[in-house]
Amino acid sequence: MLVSDRRTRDRLPHTVPPRQRASIVVQYTDLLRTSDYDLWSRLRELLKGQGLDPDRTIVVDLLREGPDHEDG
């Protein structure tokens, strides 16, 4: 998983079209900041432990395999 504090410039995977990348970034970032789901709550805790503020952090890429990969 890549997260980008607004002070850094991480590159997005080039395999995903730019419009889809932007949509994914917005969706994942919103979930990070607002979701009560265990995954996102835990991720907020981990980010805080690393000195990152979840409200100022952008989720750039959550899964190595990309957004089209199905995890089970």
Structural domain span for residue 25: 2-8+16-61
Q: What pLDDT, in 10s, does the model give residues 13-67? A: 555 676 776 788 888 899 999 999 999 999 999 999 999 999 999 988 766 665 5
Q: Evaluate if pTM is beyond 0.85.
A: no
Report the C-alpha gap between 68 and 42 in whole angstroms.
23
Query: Domain tally for the chain?
Result: 1
CA gap 35, 65 in Å, rounded: 23
In a domain, 67, yes or no: no
Would you say residue 28 lies in a domain?
Answer: yes
